[in-house]
Structure 1
Amino acid sequence: MSGTEVEGDMMSSDEPVPYPFPRPSALDVPAELRDLRDRPVIPVVLPSGDRAMLVTRYEDVRSVLTNLKVSRNLNRPDAARMTSNNKMFQDERMDPDPPEHTRVRRLVMKAFTATMVENLRPKVQELVDELVTKMQKGPCPADVSEAVAFPLSIRVICDLLGVPAEDQDRFRGWTDRFLSTGKYSGPEIGAAMAEISAYMGQLIETRRARPGDDLISALTQVHEDDDTRLSEYELHWWCRLLLLVGYETTASQIGYMVAKVLAHPDQLARLRADLSLVPSAVEEVLRWKLLNGSLSMLRYVTEDIEVGGVTVPKGTSIIPAVESANWDENVFSCPHEFDIGRAFNYHLTFSVGPHFCIGASLARLEMQIVLETLLRRFHGLRLAVPADELGRSEGTLIGGLLRIPVEWSACA
């Protein structure tokens, strides 16, 4: 909600709490998550100052994410804003709801099928080996985020989209501003968006004239019937979005994964003894959802709905709290324990339903290859600082780690 009173049965007397919740340390989840599911919905206030309702329980979160009465379209005067200076994923010319969203998404998803992503495995492994070799030959301790996570993720998404190698470093600054929740001013964000829009327009025209084996070329060549093909504006919007968010989240997840595993010596020993546990270790890191909350899940209720027996009225802004769902004691045994061998780990970090993360398969692939390669190549890999000294980036939607210094047995 934005300045809208909550109905009585939604505990309107409760004072809203700030969201996202503060974390006690970089690798720990907020203390609020331990007993959050005592209530199905709670009032929160967002970085913008607007109010919303937070959905706390696993089944309720799944239900909200798949409910057609819950819209992702925040271009409404009474909808809450994520931030006061940045619309992020909002665009009045784009419809983020089915069926229009489904039509466009179906075209974009052709590049992210499980088969297509799996075909990228040799290339990703080659890139990881190259980066890890360079890291081994460089100074020790090394920042694994700068040495591996960010360069890998940006090279993968840029190669996939067809961005020339010499331009790839420019996108980090643009992305930092695009995902700002308070780190940058409105004019700074606007200037960055204008720059990337101009760049993307030029790149699309280049690929249209000289198509290559990349996603932008493929999207410019879509020639399905008139009801399904991408419009020019949709083409520009999706190419820009995929580039801006296609690497920052994965890079931050890779960094958190390495830090989280190294911060748990018992789980690290388990993993070293059995590398077949790498996929389940990745899923457990994802379940912990160490990135900043679920602010990007912000939705708008278009008709009254029931959430855990509570009526959420039409016009309410609502957040399905994935990080709370991932800690639901009725779904996950001992959710507060970091268990790399956890079975039936049906976390919701990549969402569910019509807005399931397009890049989920690619993120999983990169995370698995990085984790296995680091453990194979570095004997005695460990954090070079205590885990509680790791810092997070503030004022951004992602909230990744600032530095992840690591060392290994060969260090002098």
Structure 2
Amino acid sequence: MSVTKADFPFGPVPPAEALQIMRAIRTDRPMTKVSFPIGGDCWMVHRHETCRAVLEDRRFVRKPFTEGRPVPYAFEFPAFLTQTLQFMDPPDHTRFRRLVSKAFTLRRVERLRGKVQEVADELVDAMVDTGPPANLVDSFALRLPIRVIGDMLGVPEEGRANFVQWSHAMLATSGMTEEEVTDAMTSLYLYLQELMTRKRTDPQDDLLSALVAARDADDQLTDDEIIQIAMLLVGGGFDNTANFIELGVQALLADPAQHAALMADIDGVIPTAVEEILRHGGFALGREMTGSAGLVPFVASEDVELDGVLIKAGDAVAVDLATANHDDDVFTGSDAFDVTRARNPHLTLSHGIHHCLGAPLARLELQVGIATLFRRLPELKLAGEPVYLDGVLTGGMTDLPITW
């Protein structure tokens, strides 16, 4: 099967046009050979079934990114990131995930529900006291998950002041020099190292203390591994959640029918609404199509045939999550933003061994956070255009003006 190489991202274009492009791509071909603006070629897989197959297939690995071997993908991931679960393959991945999951259980997350609700109510109280208008990003969307992940890790209040700076340094694509990124990462590493030492001598009921104690028979996490996990949680434990709170509120306020559906039964609808916000992403929200591939590609460890296309050993392969999440073979009326969608096997939180360990926490925060905003502020409205954040892998906003 011949495949024409294209530049990625396919745009920028308005969301409605982006959805048409994705539909055409899935119809015309199962995957595209793309050139990234940061350099390098990569196969981009578009269909939901094929994306799942890649995420389940152990022949697609990430070791080449961590072992210094040449791969046909020019982007150099930060050294810190290449030491995390995202870049590991079995058996190292299996061991690491098993130990981490002991400290990141559903039970531990569910115990946070009351705390998340308390924090959400406190933040809304502060917004009401100050009065409208407000910037949802600074007043709520960032503050909620930062408070939660800070409490969960056991980071004192004074240690959380630099969370946003540290996270943006980890995920920076532009706007920061290499020296600035290195300084920020060194500062975070040293802070967590000192905090871990304190937890070892005086353990508390928090995740960092649990990671220090986590073990399986005679196996346990090393100090460096614990710090890597904590760094990843600082970098990924609040930023994406904040982004989806912002995107979800914007999507609901921009669509009267979906807003009405939520308001008619907030507690009943919020679970499916959150899944639809995760699935539909920026396409319900007026964002341009600037890119949606998984941030970390795989590399084929041997020749693999996918949907009639030969992927050669050494080729880089990325799953195109946005296109897969709009696959008409899987999602009825895939272009529609539908907060009551019952069947929603989206891949936003990945799949298989790389399924996000923090998924239960993200869902909990999104459900409680968004439901609290609409329950407490029934007259919530948009008060202006959002300002988007550039130069960071995860995107997001710096301002979402709201009033009530």
* TM-score normalised by the chain length of structure 1: 0.90
**Alignment-derived partner of residue 165 in structure 2:** 173
Is the CA contact (8 Å cut-off) linking 2:200 and 2:212 kept in structure 1?
yes
Contact 2:103 2:214 in 1 (8 A): no
**Is residue 268 from structure 1 mapped to residue 259 from structure 2 by the alignment?**
yes
Tell me if structure 2 keeps the 8 A contact 1:82–1:296.
no
Residue pairs, 1:154-165, within 5 angstroms: 154-165=146-157
Q: 1:94 to 1:264 in 2, by over 3 A?
A: closer
Q: Does 1:234 align with 2:210?
A: no
Report the CA distance shift for 1:242/1:85 in structure 2 as closer, same or farther (over 3 A): closer
Are the counterparts in 2 of residues 182 and 395 from structure 1 also a CA contact under 8 Å? yes
Kindly tell me: are residues 220 and 383 of structure 1, through their superposed partners in 2, closer, same or farther at Cα, counting changes over 3 Å? same
Q: Which amino acid aligns with 2:8?
A: P
| Structure 1 stretches of at least 4 aligned residues deviating more than 6 Å after TM superposition | 92-95
Match of 1:112 in 2: 104
Is 2:290 the counterpart of 1:298? no
Q: How does 1:21-60 map to 2 (within 5 A)?
A: 22=12, 24=14, 32-37=21-26, 38-60=28-50
Q: Deviations over 1:64-101 (max 9, x none)?
A: 01110001232243225574574562139996111211
Deviation (angstroms), 1:354:
0.4
Task: Give the 3 Å change call, closer, same or farther, for CA 82–243 of structure 1 in structure 2.
Answer: farther
Give the deviation of 1:272 after TM superposition: 0.6
**Structure 1 equivalent of residue 133 of structure 2:** 141
Aligned to 2:241: 250
8 A contact 2:85–2:96 mirrored in 1: no
Find the aligned partners of 1:272 and 1:34 in 2 and give their Cα distance.
31
Q: Which residue of 1 aligns with 2:200?
A: 208
Q: Tell me the residue number matched to 2:398.
A: 402
> Which residue pairs with 2:190 in the alignment?
198
Matching of residues 385-396 of structure 1 within 5 Å: 385=384, 389-396=385-392
Structure 1 residues 10 and 53: alpha-carbon distance in aligned structure 2, compared to 1, 3 A threshold: farther
CA-to-aligned-CA distance 1:335-386 (integer Å, 9 cap, x gap): 111111112111111111001001111111111111111111112111112x
2:61 aligned residue: 71
* CA gap 1:219/1:189 in 2 versus in 1, 3 angstroms: same
Structure 1 CA distance for aligned equivalents of residues 149 and 82 of structure 2? 22
Partner of 1:346: 345
By how many angstroms is 1:206 displaced?
1.2
Contact 2:84-2:232 within 8 A present in 1 as well: no
For the residues of structure 2 that align with 1:62 and 1:223, how far apart are their CA atoms? 31
Contact 2:7 2:37 in 1 (8 A): no
Shift of 1:293: 1.7
Which residue does 1:153 correspond to in 2? 145
Matched residues in 2 for 1:249 and 1:240: separation? 15
More helix as a share of residues: 2
Q: SS in structure 2 opposite 1:182?
A: coil
- Write out aligned runs for 1:363-382 (5 A): 363-382=362-381
| CA shift for structure 1 position 189 | 1.6
Q: Which runs of 5+ in 1 are unaligned?
A: 1-8
Change (3 A) 1:83 1:333: same
Identity over aligned residues, as a percent? 37
- In structure 2, the residue matched to 1:3 is none
* Structure 1 CA distance for aligned equivalents of residues 366 and 323 of structure 2: 23
- CA–CA separation in structure 2 for the residues paired with 1:23 and 1:177: 28
Distance of 2:315 and 2:213 partners within structure 1:
40
**C-alpha distance in structure 2 between counterparts of 1:128 and 1:28, whole Å:** 36
The CA deviation at 1:307 is 1.5
Q: Judging changes above 3 Å, is the alpha-carbon distance between structure 1 residues 218 and 136 closer, same or farther for their aligned structure 2 residues?
A: same
- Confirm or deny: 8 A CA contact 2:389 2:395 kept in the other structure: yes
Give the match for residue 126 of structure 1. Answer: 118
Which deviations, in whole Å up to 9, do the C-alpha atoms of 1:283-324 show, x marking residues without a partner?
101001339623423111111112212111110011011111
Distance 1:294 1:243, change over 3 A: same
Residue 38 of structure 2: SS of its match in structure 1?
coil
Q: Which residue of 2 aligns with 1:6?
A: none
Can you list the C-alpha shifts for 1:134-187, whole angstroms capped at 9, x where unaligned?
Answer: 011113111111111101111111111111111101111011111112232322
Contact 1:21/1:30 (CA < 8 Å) preserved in 2? no
- 2:302 and 2:314 in contact (8 A); partners too: yes
